Amino acid sequence: MITFSGLANRFEGMINPIAVKELRQAVQGKFIMGILLLFLTVAVIILGVVSMLYGEEFNDFNSGRDIFLVFLGLLMGTCLLFLPLCAGVRLSFERADNVDLLYATTLKAGAIIRGKLLSSTILCVIIYSICTPFMTLTYLLRGIDLLSIFFCLGASFLMMVGVFQIVLFLASLPVNRWFKLLLAGGVLFGMTMLLVGAIILAEDLLRSGIGSMMTTREFWLVLGLILVLVGMAEGLLYVLSVAIISPSTVNRALPVRLYLTSIWLLTGAACVGCAFYYVAYEVIMIWGISSLIIFGLTLMASISEREVLGPRIRRSIPQKPLRRMAAFFFYSGAGGGFLWCTLILAVTFGVMTYSMPFFPRFPRLGFSYTVEALNFDVACVLLYFAGYALMGAFVRRKFLSRWFRTDMTWGIAAILTVIFCVVPIVIAFFLKVNLDYESNYMWYLGNPGAIFWFSRYSERFLIAGSVWAGLGLLLNLRWLINQINQFQPLNNHKAVREGS
């Protein structure tokens, strides 16, 4: 008895405080009870209506499947609309009102997000556990088997958990009330689309017969791949949420950059291995292109990071030069972030290019569009990206620092991109230049995507991209060197001495 009590105490101590709080709030707010009653009422009404309408046809070959799909729609609709909304809105309000209090405790930002995710998942388990028996009873009717029922329930449950993490990420974003409302509208629309898509997919799978698919190797391969990809995306959203709600005094970039670097390395190693094993360059291409897109976007976010490190972060900078050099890439800071992204982009591009001679054949991308051309175009787009990011940083720092904080650099870079894409075309319009002629490509030289339309002049676009990126680097060189030089550890109590 004593051992049991000790174990119970130990277990209770391990439970995430945020999860306990959230569950208590949910129960005391009568939210869950309300949802369950609503679900059961609607389910009984629908079942009654269907029974009356079907009558004798209730014994046809599809009745079990049809009723299961109705129940599944109801269950997913209930969970998709209410649970994420509840978790998201609560986190959003706490972010606005009193998150400081959480930081004054010994709770970590990660524990806050994990607690929110856990509580939403537990609420989802409660609702599912109540509904599963009803849904399993559809097996007694025709057109569905137990394996399919459990597969659909399991898959939909995993989808719910994924949606909870997405909503928690969106709720963590530090945006104003109007943007939050806009986000909530977007989430609601997205949920509806997801619900409709999931039901259509479930119907398709049930019609095809999930049981028979499960015996094939491809089914498990595809399922495994989807789970791994979704898991990686969810992991990224988790570390991003943690970074966003972490206090600005800590090294927020570290978990995000470590996670992205690990995923990039792991997937890279796996894809290169697979490509060589199956002699299929496509695998490297898919990995490369997705990495370039992800890190191209991360480049914009990284350039918007802080330029001055606080004493708490500086005190954790390693003393030894080699370790400090490595740490520079993983510490919050625009300079480190830019170099980290650039390095990964360069290595990815290098792998894509230098692995080509090892493959005898390449996938066909179009009538005359080769893999080499694609790699060339992608390199060009990346140069444009780097150029605009660096120009954005320069313009903000030199001319707009009074009005725009560092975290708005990406916005300035985006505005510059739009300006350089649109203004030449407007000028060309007034000069009555016929933009339909391919030879007038120069009016599009500011547009990073235009290289895909003017493949004949891709070298010119590459030159323009290189000049743009080079100019950006030149204008920011001093700043970048300063960032590297300033990345020095703060001696203990130096701050105190400075002030005395």
Partner 1 sequence: MQVDVVHLKKYFGSTRAVDDISFSFGSGRIFGFVGPNGAGKTTAIRIMATLLDPLEGDVLVDGISVVEEPEKARHLLGYMPDSLPTHSDMTVHDYLDFFARAFGINSKRRHSVVEEVEQFANLMQIREKFLKALSKGMKQRVSLARSLVHNPSVLIMDEPASGLDPRARVELRELLKILADQGKAILISSHILTELAEICHGAVIIEQGKILQAGSIDELNELMQQRRIITVRPIAKLDEMYKELLQTPHVEQVSYAGAALEIETLGGEEISSDILAQLVKKGYRIAEFRQEQADLEDIFMNLTKGEVQ
Q: What residues line the site for partner 1 (CB under 8 A)?
A: 9, 12-13, 15, 17, 20-21, 24-25, 28-29, 93-94, 97-98, 100-107, 247-249, 310-312, 315, 492-493, 495-496, 498-500
**Cβ proximity to partner 1, 14 vs 322, nearer residue:** 14
Task: State the minimum distance, in angstroms, from the CB of residue 250 to partner 1.
Answer: 9
Q: CB 495 → partner 1: shortest distance, Å?
A: 5
Our CB check for partner 1 shows the closer of 65 and 95 to be 95
Nearer to partner 1, 93 or 219 (CB): 93
Least distance (Å) between residue 104 CB and partner 1: 5
The answer to whether 71 and 138 are in contact (CB under 8 A) is: yes
CB closer to partner 1, 242 vs 451: 242
At CA 34, angle to CA 29 and CA 35, rounded to 5? 115
Which helix H or strand E contains 21, and what residues bound it? helix 17-28
- Token duo for residue 82: 């209410």
Minimum CB–partner distance for residue 311 and partner 1 (Å): 5
Rounded Cα gap, residues 183 and 188, in angstroms: 9
CA distances from 175 to 116, 155, 209, 244, 252 (A): 20, 32, 45, 11, 18
Cβ proximity to partner 1: between 192 and 249 the closer is: 249
Distance of CA 462 to the CA centre of its chain: 30
Which is closer to partner 1, CB of 22 or CB of 377?
22
How would you class 245 by CB atoms within 10 Å of its CB: exposed for 0-12, middle for 13-18, buried for 19 or more?
buried
Provide long-range contacts, Cβ within 8 A and 24+ apart, for 125-133: 125/157, 126/32, 126/36, 127/32, 127/35, 127/36, 127/39, 127/75, 127/78, 127/79, 127/83, 128/75, 128/79, 128/153, 128/157, 130/36, 130/39, 130/40, 131/39, 131/43, 131/71, 131/75
Residue 423 has a CB neighbour count (10 Å cut-off) of: 12
Identify residue 280 by its one-letter amino acid code.
A
What residue type is assigned to position 288 of the chain? G
Could you write out the three-class secondary structure of 33-55?
HHHHHHHHHHHHHHHHHHHHHHH
* Helix 146-172 with 217-245: angle, nearest 10 deg: 20
Question: CB-wise, 316 or 455, nearer to partner 1?
Answer: 316
CB of 33 to partner 1, least distance (A): 14
Residue (29 or 273) nearer to partner 1, CB: 29
Tokens representing 147 are 């394996």
Among 284, 173, 167, 155, which residue's Cα sits nearest to residue 226? 155
Which residue, 56 or 97, is less far from partner 1 as judged by CB? Answer: 97
Q: How far is the CB of 402 from partner 1 (least distance, A)?
A: 9
Indicate the residue among 207 and 312 with the shorter CB distance to partner 1.
Answer: 312
Residue closer to partner 1, measured from CB, 3 or 434:
3
Backbone torsions φ then ψ of 158, nearest 5 degrees: -60, -35
